[in-house]
Structure 1
Amino acid sequence: MALRTAGSVLVVFLWSVAVVLSQNGWSVTYTTQSICTLKGSTVEMSCSYTYPRGYTVTTTLWFSEMHDVENYVSLLDDPDYKGRVTYRSDKMNGHTLTITDLRESDSATYKFRFIANQTRGKYFGSPGVTLSVTDLQVKVTTTWWSTTLTCSTTCTLTDNPTYIWYRNSTIVQEDSFPSYTIYLQTDDSFYCAVKGINSPAVLVLGQDGWSVTYTTQSICTLKGSSVEMSCSYTYPRGYIITTTFWFITNNAEGNPVSLE
């Protein structure tokens, strides 16, 4: 079942706590120190910088790793970010880094560096911006009268996102609160997404305390590569799980057959 959330991309804009570190007229001011956002979204990190009179800045760049004392690799030249990074500057010495199609491997600390046209005219600002990229998970809490589904992430999402819950293909809740409660037993399918993210929602299938939560519903990858699919499951008290396996549904017999 294909579902689309409102909008196509979530861009995280932050204008909060500024960090200023200066040395003899050199400084970098970061708009924020930490960002938590979702896999597949777009993020912007901003800073401004100053330098002494008489200098002219010739190079500006963002980096996530320092390879050696004098060799900082710009994200524009890093193959891991190819086609996903843009820089934007303004006349007031402001500079913005944009990364699209975020991956969990993009979680890192990013710093801004600029180079001037004179000897010793090189500076980068610390501590930088710490980016955490997470994926949606669903936690299931069951009591004898209700089941609560909660959209969960490994860090607290920045910018107070709106969580969308679907019952089958119908939106049943849009709220900044990440949980949705069901008071009657049902065989319906439930999907959780964050508004503005054009990515697969999390699927939960529930029946009498039984549920399976898949981390994602669709994956596109290359022939010959490796892939990981993950899920979590719940079951009623009193049962003991003796067997778990994955299967495909397009086998010739039409019956579940373990992939092992």
Structure 2
Amino acid sequence: ILVFLFCAGSPCMNVTYTHQSICALKGSTVDISCFYTHPSWHNVTEVSWFSKWETGVTNDLSQDPEYTDRVEYHRQTDKDSTLKITDLRERDSTEYKFRFKTVHAEWGYTFSGTTLSVTGLQVEMTPATVTEGQRVTLDCRTVCTLTDNPNPSYIWYKLGQRLTNQNNSLILNPVSSEDAGRYSCAVEGFEDLHSPEETLTSTLVSVSPSGDIVEGSSVTLTCSSDANPPVQSYAWYKNGSVYQSIFYGNTEPQQVFSQIKSSDTRQYYCWVSNGISTDRSPSLDIDVKCE
């Protein structure tokens, strides 16, 4: 609690802020409150809240276009004030101060107020580079600790659908291709405020043409992935070894056999990288038949 006093041979004028700092969730609503006192003969003529002190701007927030339809002033007594801000945005992170005027004085706007930090949710994946069969943990993070909910319960979603029976951390052990998809989280009680999605990519190898593969025919293997950001490089493997006929780290997703041979009968898979993480496709069996 911050208390600022002004005494000059008469009863004090003061402003008391309930919180020095507040951390709130992006998209939610926050209440910033204070109490103030003044001599009984000082009739209050105006109360207001401000921000943007670093620029010297002291316009009432209720008149600020950035806060249009998002701010309200509330009071329970004649000596308290609460600033309510709805639909919080990250740019709302700043210091807020209260001011009141009487017929004799103006007070409250020159000292520190309440600093608001607005945080979004982020999904953190461990390890950052995922290999099939590993233990993968997804954690929901905020930049600062939520003032009204310092130990929140999190809800997890896959492809926008709520997952059941999950703890605050989502554990995939072992992770498989069936776990591929887009994951997001939300704080319980604020289910409509999702984090950005974190994608576990689904990487597959397909063969064209489909059907029987005959020796001497043209066959194309294609490595596809829904990685976000998009894949930057591909690496092909044949029976567990790097396939030397393909440049390792190729930027093209295809391997073309212009005249496939019976010796090309093997298992093939690809690794992809988007510069952030890597992923491996399941193996694809190629059986080349003789004419």
- Short-chain TM bin: 0.5 to 0.7
> Do structure 1's residue 204 and structure 2's residue 190 form an aligned pair?
no
Alignment of 1:9-20 (within 5 A): 18-20=1-3
CA contact (8 A) 2:121 2:194 kept: no
Q: What amino acid maps onto 1:193 in structure 2?
A: A
Correspondent of 1:124 among 108, 122, 125: 108
CA contact (8 A) 1:162 1:174 kept: no
What is the alpha-carbon distance in structure 1 between the residues aligned to residue 226 and residue 188 of structure 2?
24
CA shift, 1:200, in A, is 4.0
CA contact (8 A) 1:64 1:110 kept: yes
Q: Share of identical aligned residues, percent?
A: 39
What is the alpha-carbon distance in structure 2 between the residues aligned to residue 134 and residue 38 of structure 1?
5
> Do structure 1's residue 148 and structure 2's residue 137 form an aligned pair?
yes
Correspondent of 1:172 among 161, 164, 169: 164
Question: Which residue pairs with 2:21 in the alignment?
Answer: 34
Correspondent of 2:173 among 168, 183, 186: 183
Q: How many residues align?
A: 203
> Could you list the per-position Cα deviations for residues 186-207 of structure 1 after superposition, in whole angstroms to 9, with x for gaps in the alignment?
2244221122332344323314
SS of 1:76 mapped into structure 2:
helix
Runs of 4+ in 1 over 4 A off after TM superposition: 207-213, 239-245
* Higher RCO structure, 1 or 2 (CA under 8 Å, sep 6+): 1
Question: Which residue pairs with 1:97 in the alignment?
Answer: 83
CA contact (8 A) 2:181 2:200 kept: yes
SS of 1:80 mapped into structure 2:
helix
> Could you list the per-position Cα deviations for residues 8-30 of structure 1 after superposition, in whole angstroms to 9, with x for gaps in the alignment?
xxxxxxxxxx2212111011111
CA shift, 1:170, in A, is 3.1
What is the alpha-carbon distance in structure 2 between the residues aligned to residue 27 and residue 174 of structure 1?
49
> Do structure 1's residue 137 and structure 2's residue 122 form an aligned pair?
yes
CA shift, 1:162, in A, is 2.5
- What are the ranges of 5 or more consecutive residues in structure 1 without an aligned counterpart? 1-17, 214-230, 246-260
CA contact (8 A) 2:123 2:195 kept: no
What is the alpha-carbon distance in structure 1 between the residues aligned to residue 89 and residue 183 of structure 2?
25
Change (3 A) 1:135 1:212: farther
> Could you list the per-position Cα deviations for residues 18-54 of structure 1 after superposition, in whole angstroms to 9, with x for gaps in the alignment?
2212111011111111111222111111110011231
TM-score by length of 2: 0.60
Farther off after superposition, 33-42 or 195-204 = 195-204
Correspondent of 1:49 among 27, 36, 56: 36
- What are the ranges of 5 or more consecutive residues in structure 2 without an aligned counterpart? 204-224, 234-247, 252-272, 276-291
> Could you list the per-position Cα deviations for residues 79-102 of structure 1 after superposition, in whole angstroms to 9, with x for gaps in the alignment?
110110000012251110000111
Task: Give the superposed CA RMSD.
Answer: 3.3
Correspondent of 2:4 among 18, 21, 31: 21
CA contact (8 A) 2:155 2:162 kept: no
CA contact (8 A) 2:201 2:227 kept: no
Question: Which residue pairs with 1:85 in the alignment?
Answer: 71
